[in-house]
Structure 1
Amino acid sequence: MKKIAIAGSTGYLGKCIAEAVVSQKSINALLLARNLEKLAVYEGENITKVKVEFTDNITLQGMLNGVDTVISTVGITRQKDGLSYMDVDYGANHNLLEEAKKAGVRKFVYVSVLNGQNMRHLKICEAKERFVDELKTSGLEYTIIRPNGFFSDMKDFLNMAQKGKVYLFGTGENSLNPIHGDDLARVCLDSIHVDDEEIEVGGPEVFTQNQIASLALKTLNKPVKIVHLSDWIRSFTLGLVRTFLPSKIYGPIEFFLSAMASDMIAPKYGVHKLEDYYQGISHEFSK
């Protein structure tokens, strides 16, 4: 029975992968995370849970012995603990990769971002793609998975909708097909057995930003009020945050503002629908 290590198993995608593994008795899973309390819900004879600090390679020593494949979702979308993208999205994954090579791991699956290789000027992509470059020359088998937006990212539209209006830059006609974590988890697990070195993937439905905004407002029973801001405001704001804020603060803003300015469409995959996801979490916004 193959042993799979899941690094970052308490994040949105990591939890989805962990839940999928628990139901598959044919996989022995090693769940690696900083906080074991968040892993308490995962139980099974095929599950082992270990606390590690991914940015401290000493805590990783020997942890990957006997592991066939590492799946890493390690990364930060909201900066915390004073750590930067380069510390985590690059540095933590670098530590994992070095330990994987020492342990004789066969394959390393890494989750980056759609079009990340073309957005290296953004702090988050700079760090992720530096690791991608390293992984490609590591000598290990690898698959780089490039999803576009997660369903969890689409909560930002609900946050605006809760206040009665959704603000978009430009015409709002740029398109994307975000993907549910459960669908993406299946892609990650399936990639263990395929030879594809890179996989671009999105959800089964393509939306314009206007359509997602309308869906968010309707989900919360709000009138459809969408405010379109001139795109120069986006560019001006981007310049301000880069000039006056430290990178650990402006990184998420920089990525969001940049991603909103173009289409983010990937090959369609999965069965989960954004409307169902919105309905399922709408109670969080009913206060």
Structure 2
Amino acid sequence: MNSKKVLVAGATGYLGQYLVRELKNRGFWVRVLIRKEAQKSKFQDVDDFFIGQITEPNSIKGITKNIDWVFSTIGITRQKDGMTYMDVDYQGNSNLLNDALKNKVEAFQYISAINGEKLRNLKIFEAKERFVDELKDSGINYCVLRPNGFFSDMKDFLNMAKAGRVYLFGDGNLKLNPIHGKDLAKVCIDKMISGIEEETVGGIDIFTQNELAELALKAWQKPVKISHLPDWTRRFTIGLLRTFTSSKTYGPIEFFLTAMAFDNIAKQYGTNRLEDFFNLEVKRMKEK
């Protein structure tokens, strides 16, 4: 039995659910933050639930009482309910950190994303990195992890491949190593135990974008058809979106299109293969 008591914020998300499971497997005492009572059913053997809204400091007062470690995967991919990245990714995490400081929490882990520190011009990273700065300046023991894309993010390739053709910007030779949530959850806990302050985390396999497209087409048993669009069309699309839509609409697309423009290679971890994930997803999509 592990004597540490931990709080997981963002527990209902893709990574959060794997994190809770892995912490329980390792014998940690786990409290999770949920927004509403109904979300309790998502978890099997959690020790304690705290119901509150991360964006409302009064509703999460005392959430870190008697907690040793905080894991926060709080963040939004798509802005909804009138919430912006600043409201959630920055202010929500800041509210949590303030409570942790009041309750003398030993360590705080935050999940940002790869190259976030270099991409502060993007709405999504402006908020995340502002929180990273605050966390580092707070005096608490911190761990900032910068994962590569999740396997679940790679579904964009699968969705395109379903129609029989994948569109890429440029020559498709840029590389990335996406990671499965299950593998990332293990790394999160290992890094917290070893006291690492900052680390990039990716999956075991490094792919070019062309190879990703091929994998996706193969999963659908389609012939390999990849169209390479000139890179100016990518930049033009970002410009159009910024001009004619709100950050709510363009935020996630801006992030995706910008990330596609350079190599994203993180330290390699894990055992899960993207090919297996794609095959399972296709099976699931066909059954629907």
Q: TM-score range by the shorter chain?
A: over 0.9
For the residue of structure 1 that corresponds to 2:210, the secondary structure is: helix
Written as runs of structure 1 = structure 2, the 5 A alignment for 1:17-96 is 17-24=19-26, 26-44=27-45, 47-96=47-96
Which residue of structure 2 aligns with residue 208 of structure 1?
208
1:283 and 2:277 matched: no
Write the deviation string for residues 174-199 of structure 1: whole angstroms up to 9, x where unpaired. 00000000110011111221222101
Which residue of structure 2 aligns with residue 220 of structure 1?
220
Which residue of structure 1 aligns with residue 181 of structure 2?
181
CA drift of 1:250 comes to 0.7
State the distance in 2 between where 1:35 and 1:153 align: 26
TM-score scaled to structure 1, two decimals? 0.96
Indicate if the aligned counterparts of 1:151 and 1:178 stay in contact, CA closer than 8 A. Answer: yes
The code of the aligned residue for 1:28 comes to W
Written as runs of structure 1 = structure 2, the 5 A alignment for 1:99-248 is 99-248=99-248
State the distance in 1 between where 2:275 and 2:220 align: 11
CA drift of 1:36 comes to 4.1
The code of the aligned residue for 2:52 comes to V
Deviates more, 1:67-76 or 1:13-22: 13-22
Indicate if the aligned counterparts of 2:148 and 2:266 stay in contact, CA closer than 8 A. Answer: yes
State the distance in 2 between where 1:134 and 1:236 align: 34
Deviates more, 1:199-208 or 1:186-195: 186-195
CA drift of 1:20 comes to 1.1
State the distance in 1 between where 2:43 and 2:245 align: 39
For the residue of structure 1 that corresponds to 2:82, the secondary structure is: coil
Indicate if the aligned counterparts of 1:159 and 1:285 stay in contact, CA closer than 8 A. Answer: no
For the residue of structure 2 that corresponds to 1:78, the secondary structure is: coil
For the residue of structure 1 that corresponds to 2:196, the secondary structure is: coil
CA drift of 1:23 comes to 2.1
CA drift of 1:224 comes to 1.2
CA drift of 1:143 comes to 0.4
CA drift of 1:43 comes to 2.5
Indicate if the aligned counterparts of 2:12 and 2:42 stay in contact, CA closer than 8 A. Answer: no
The gaps in structure 2 that reach 5 residues or longer are: none
- Distance change >3 Å, CA 154–CA 36, structure 1 → 2: farther
For the residue of structure 1 that corresponds to 2:205, the secondary structure is: coil
State the distance in 1 between where 2:48 and 2:265 align: 36
The code of the aligned residue for 1:214 comes to E
State the distance in 2 between where 1:185 and 1:230 align: 37
State the distance in 2 between where 1:210 and 1:38 align: 39
- The count of residues paired between Structure 1 and Structure 2 equals 285
State the distance in 1 between where 2:42 and 2:12 align: 11
CA drift of 1:280 comes to 1.7
State the distance in 1 between where 2:51 and 2:284 align: 30
Give the superposed CA RMSD: 1.2
Which residue of structure 2 aligns with residue 251 of structure 1?
251
The code of the aligned residue for 2:65 comes to N
The gaps in structure 1 that reach 5 residues or longer are: none
For the residue of structure 1 that corresponds to 2:63, the secondary structure is: coil
- Distance change >3 Å, CA 219–CA 229, structure 1 → 2: same
State the distance in 2 between where 1:270 and 1:134 align: 30
State the distance in 2 between where 1:22 and 1:82 align: 34
State the distance in 2 between where 1:169 and 1:57 align: 42
TM-score scaled to structure 2, two decimals? 0.96
Write the deviation string for residues 106-147 of structure 1: whole angstroms up to 9, x where unpaired. 100000011100000000110000000000011100000011
The code of the aligned residue for 2:5 comes to K
CA drift of 1:248 comes to 1.5
Flag as ranges the 4+ runs of structure 1 deviating above 3 A.
none
